[in-house]
């Protein structure tokens, strides 16, 4: 499974391309149904091809544009290693794809911008969180949502302390440390001092090796999630957790953790325990945003907005801190940048786009948060509401 971060999504949103093809589909990750993955994708590519012909794109240009995507059809290993859903974007530089822990309705969109609405649940109240299961013998990383869990390979990280070349043979540093310590103890000292000193040195050695082991894991984790604002839940026996916390540079480690040996738990069991920890955190941010909106609206100040004609210009200028939008509806229209004016349409016309989608694109691309929610979860009677930064 691939890591989709807000940063990588922002890069796609801001990417310049004459044309974007956005494809979403659910995929199978196990069993004989895996064989259906590439077949479904092939059918969707045929739909894309037909739409491009209808747009009067010539045959050679279509073949060149779709070649990287068509090459995926025969990549057996790719289709055998899927999550619950695949989001794939074809653009002038090739393709970008994400195998994700979220199933999607089969969708094809062709536009000058990527279509991101199906991805919004991954960045909202039932969004993504990580679990890092730590033990001396094994390390596992899981990317989860409220409903799903998928194990992710930690790139260039050790699988266990053994991989850090910690051994107990006669010539090992640990053995030499113990022998050197014993020689420094005088003949008249009690023998238990010898034992205590050696044990102390061995404990220090083990802690140093754990620190080295965890640092290698953390470096891989941070590299994989650079720019990613995703909570991390640790799982492990209690004495290991503070050692990892002390060395970690991952900025979003959750305070609580899963206690006990994680080797005894599978991914689903870990996900269930971790969701109990992160659920309040997801909803806390949302509740704070709702409270802000209610406060600002009650004060009748300029830090809230509940109409697209105000929200879209504000989002374009980076003013939107949090955006709530109705996940059951669309609002067609267009934004005239030169006039700084939003034009709404009852039905889609030539040049129109879904302005709720456009508002979410603008908000995410400028570092804001988007909650795509049911109508009753929007803190106003309109299908859109925003908390503004200034």
Domain segments of the chain: what residues? 6-123, 129-279, 302-388
Q: Is the Cβ–Cβ distance between 235 and 134 less than 8 Å?
A: yes
Let me know if 61 is exposed, middle or buried by CB neighbors in 10 A (0-12, 13-18, 19+): exposed
Distances from the Cα of 310 to the Cα of 46, 355, 364, 373, 389, angstroms: 40, 12, 17, 20, 14
- pLDDT for position 163: 82
Query: In this structure, which CATH number among 3.40.50.1820, 3.30.960.10, 3.30.429.10, 2.60.200.30 belongs to the domain 6-123?
Result: 3.30.960.10
pLDDT of residue 293: 97
Q: pLDDT-based confidence at 195, cuts 50/70/90?
A: low
Distance CA 236, CA 214 (A): 12
Residue 51 phi, psi dihedral angles, 5° rounding: -65, -40
- Of residues 132 and 171, which shows the higher confidence score? 132
pLDDT at 130 over 70: yes
What is the structure's pLDDT at 371?
A: 92
pLDDT tens for 213-234 read 999 999 999 988 776 678 999 9
Q: What is the pLDDT of residues 302-333, one digit of tens each?
A: 999 999 999 999 999 999 999 999 989 999 99
Give the three-state DSSP class for 373. Answer: strand
The pLDDT of residue 165 is 60
Query: Which CA distances in Å does 263 have to 76, 159, 270, 345?
Result: 31, 13, 10, 56
Q: Is 229 helix (H, G, I), strand (E, B) or coil?
A: coil
Instruction: Name the band, by pLDDT with cuts 50, 70 and 90, for residue 50.
Output: very high
State CA 283 to chain mean position distance.
Answer: 17
On whether the 129-279 domain is CATH 3.30.450, my answer is no
Do 129-279 and 302-388 agree at the fold level? no
Q: What is the mean pLDDT of residues 276-292?
A: 91
**CATH (residue range 302-388):** 3.30.1330.30
User: Residue 149 forms beta bridges with which residues?
Assistant: 144
pLDDT single digits (tens) 65-74? 999 999 999 9
Q: Rg for the chain (alpha carbons), in Å?
A: 26
Report the range of poorest mean pLDDT among 54-63, 73-82, 178-187, 245-254. Answer: 178-187
In the prediction, which pLDDT does 189 show? 53
CA distance 367 to 7: 9
Comparing CA positions, the residue from 235, 211, 233 lying closest to residue 133 is 235
Residues 6+ apart with CB under 8 A from 305: 311, 314, 385, 386, 388
| pLDDT given for residue 77 in this prediction | 92
């Amino acid at each position: 499974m691939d890591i989709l971060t807000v940063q990588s999504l922002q890069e796609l949103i801001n990417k310049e391309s004459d044309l974007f093809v956005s494809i979403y589909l659910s995929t199978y990750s196990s069993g004989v149904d895996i064989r259906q993955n590439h077949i479904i994708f092939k059918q969707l590519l045929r739909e894309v091809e037909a739409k491009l012909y209808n747009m009067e794109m010539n045959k050679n240009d279509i073949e060149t544009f779709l070649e990287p995507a068509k090459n995926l059809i025969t990549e057996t290993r790719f289709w055998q290693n899927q999550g619950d859903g695949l989001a794939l974007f074809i653009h002038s530089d090739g393709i970008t794809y994400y195998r994700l822990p979220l199933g999607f309705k089969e969708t094809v969109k062709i536009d000058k911008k990527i279509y991101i609405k199906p991805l919004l649940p991954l960045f909202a109240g039932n969004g993504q969180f990580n679990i890092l299961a730590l033990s001396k013998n094994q390390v596992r990383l899981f990317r989860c949502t409220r409903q799903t869990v998928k194990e992710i390979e930690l790139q260039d990280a050790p699988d266990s302390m053994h991989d850090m070349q910690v051994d107990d043979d006669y010539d090992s540093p640990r053995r030499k440390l113990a022998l050197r310590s014993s020689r420094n103890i005088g003949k008249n000292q009690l023998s238990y001092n010898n034992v205590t000193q050696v044990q102390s040195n061995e404990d220090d050695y083990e802690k140093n090796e754990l620190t080295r082991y965890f640092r290698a894991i953390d470096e891989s984790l941070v590299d994989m999630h650079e720019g990613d604002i995703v909570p991390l839940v640790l799982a492990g026996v209690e004495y290991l957790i503070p050692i990892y916390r002390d060395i970690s540079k991952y900025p979003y480690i959750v305070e609580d953790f899963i206690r006990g040996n994680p080797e005894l738990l599978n991914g689903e069991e870990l996900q269930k325990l971790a969701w109990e920890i992160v659920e309040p955190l997801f909803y806390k941010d949302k509740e704070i945003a709702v409270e802000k909106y209610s406060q600002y609206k009650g004060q009748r100040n300029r830090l809230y907005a509940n109409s697209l004609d105000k929200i879209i210009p504000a989002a374009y200028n980076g003013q939107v801190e949090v955006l709530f939008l109705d996940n059951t509806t669309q609002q067609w229209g267009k934004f005239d940048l030169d006039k700084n004016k939003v034009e709404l349409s009852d039905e889609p016309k030539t040049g129109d786009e879904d302005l709720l989608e456009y508002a979410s694109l603008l908000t995410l691309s400028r570092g804001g948060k988007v909650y795509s929610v049911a109508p009753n979860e929007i803190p106003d009677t309109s299908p859109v509401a925003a908390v503004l930064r200034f």
